Structure 1
């Protein structure tokens, strides 16, 4: 399940006014001038995303695990509020929900936003279209109040679909994108950026804890980090490109043999993706190593083989992040076993690219620090 690829805005214009302000040096700038910033961050990395459970500008929002495929939370839009099931997706940056003006078959199975029932909604004449691997969306833009837990975002721009193709069986109504603004529709501001500029979160961070198998217990948190959801200290990894949540990966190994990322590569951490995705040629070789054979669109593994298979190790910033076979192989209710590896990332032509989806993120609590453009990882509890 993948929720990104092509984003296109048909028309939108907006004025931007920049007002110069007198700036006082921050502690960060003073430390950088004295070449002390790196060591200070390493020694105090957890302080940059301090537990803020008693802060009104911190929100811990529950997510529901849908069959270990995706994680779904609720938001409201409008006044009075209209509730929607959404994916909080680090692999995209736009917010959209279906509208009452949508007559596609997919819209009949989802909650629809009625702009005329909201006293705070303002519609725009500008249209948009989004293309995902799973389907396409056509619609128009609007502004309204969005609420996530105790966080209220005013004047949030969002998409209302009037044509929805390919989402008939999706267990969610819409998507909240948490990627960088450069990934969003042109001249629009993503939800998280509005949280920051409107001052409704105490710190420019969010984090995910994704449970395994259990339907309840997963959370997304905004404005701080509850450290009770991970073991040990967070290891921080710099973002290599501020577009997706993208990092540099050193190598991928099985049984101490390099099986991917041979000369270093790029990796995207993506909560909108179920699988471990990589270049098709490399993934096909890994499928052979684990005795997975293609059956339709799936790769089937003999369930009796799982206990004999090795873990796969993703080396990131010099640290090993193992993923055991019980994690990269899924056992269905019918007793069949399937590989969670998928190909298809050769569309990223600049470098070998991998997408670490929920298979990886269930194992590792992840923190996304927009203030410092880095990602923190630690074993999940």
Structure 2
């Protein structure tokens, strides 16, 4: 796999004790020459089905930390973290649509390509490892990711989360993660949906006093081939990443980062009103109930291919209209260039609407196509989500 080196910058600041801020630069790896395909979309929707439609089975100094993210061609944004002492490093997908931290285990099946293609955690090599052993499996549309719980020190560079319990994966589903540029997932949602009764890392960061504020914020750079894909900030907000002021709305259900959208309109027509939505950094799409999907794509002139994917004639992009989300009294506008994505298949390039659906879904999932346009704050202290237009893209 060809990879490019990029840099992760971590900023640690102690405002209360007036200690010196520390900046650490750690190289990241990124997959080159990626092209979005129908298979990529199917794999992503499989993971979405697991998170929102399938119930999974289960058998101190305050700082601000900045994790610079790499943009995996507008599909996923991932950064670097470590587990253990000495540190074992992993590229990780930071996902606000789930709550568990998991990485591949050194004990994973030798036949499991997804595990073998990535770094693996070795508990015997860590002096701070504490055994747990509880079996946990997370159900996906293409299979299940299964493993067992372990406890160790987890770090986002120099922020140490003591006694963090996570999942060592010994089996991963199908081909979903085989070619992924990240080894595992760091869930950033609420403990109520954490499998195995595990306290999520963010909750432990807050309870251990590791953050200036109980918030995280995302700036996702929307340049498909950017070597620097943006930043995830633990414990703070960077106002240089957005224009104007943040619009906050309360979390309506503290499982996912769920809130109410007042309306969605295009060409003066309201497609949906007063509906529930989730801000999910773990998907590139905007996913909705099937009826809204049909109405949405009809109005923008996209035609369904019979597999839950809608396409427009690439020559007609200039004639497409804006789509407006009204959230907390503020209008958030997506232009055609924001909601139409180029994908490849059968040797050709197609223009696909990022508005998709999952059968049985009752709410909307606002993925990176939305979050990449609007700087997003996930505020656990006040149970609210904030949005503002990004300053650059």
**Structure 2: which 5+ residue stretches go unaligned?**
1-43
Cα 1:254–1:242 shift into 2, 3 Å: same
SS at match of 2:154: strand
User: How far off its partner does 1:288 sit?
Assistant: 2.6
Aligned to 1:152: 160
Alignment of 1:1-381 (within 5 A): 1=44, 2-3=47-48, 4-5=51-52, 6-10=55-59, 57-103=63-109, 104-133=112-141, 135-166=143-174, 167-213=177-223, 214-259=226-271, 261-262=272-273, 264-295=274-305, 298-332=309-343, 335-344=349-358, 346-348=360-362, 353-381=363-391
Larger mean CA deviation between 184-193 and 287-296 belongs to 287-296
Cα 1:347–1:217 shift into 2, 3 Å: closer
SS at match of 1:8: coil
SS at match of 2:210: coil
User: How far off its partner does 1:134 sit?
Assistant: 5.8
Larger mean CA deviation between 212-221 and 280-289 belongs to 280-289
User: How far off its partner does 1:284 sit?
Assistant: 2.2
**Structure 1: which 5+ residue stretches go unaligned?**
11-54
Larger mean CA deviation between 175-184 and 111-120 belongs to 111-120
User: How far off its partner does 1:196 sit?
Assistant: 0.7
Residues 64 and 215, structure 1, Cα contact 8 Å, conserved in 2: yes
Residues 93 and 184, structure 1, Cα contact 8 Å, conserved in 2: yes
Aligned to 1:18: none
In 2, Cα distance between equivalents of 1:125 and 1:73 = 27
In 2, Cα distance between equivalents of 1:136 and 1:380 = 36
User: How far off its partner does 1:101 sit?
Assistant: 1.2
In 2, Cα distance between equivalents of 1:257 and 1:107 = 47
In 2, Cα distance between equivalents of 1:181 and 1:303 = 43
In 2, Cα distance between equivalents of 1:99 and 1:202 = 32
Q: Per-residue displacement from partner, 1:105-124 (whole Å, max 9, x unpaired)?
A: 22121211111111111221
User: How far off its partner does 1:287 sit?
Assistant: 2.0
Q: TM-score, normalised to structure 1's length?
A: 0.83
SS at match of 1:156: strand
SS at match of 2:316: helix
In 2, Cα distance between equivalents of 1:345 and 1:242 = 23
**May I ask how many residue pairs the two structures share in their alignment?**
331
Aligned to 2:15: none
Residues 248 and 387, structure 2, Cα contact 8 Å, conserved in 1: yes
Structure with greater proportional strand content: 2
Aligned to 2:10: none
SS at match of 1:347: coil
Q: Which has the larger radius of gyration?
A: 1
SS at match of 1:7: coil
SS at match of 1:336: strand
SS at match of 2:56: strand
Q: TM-score, normalised to structure 2's length?
A: 0.80
User: How far off its partner does 1:152 sit?
Assistant: 0.9
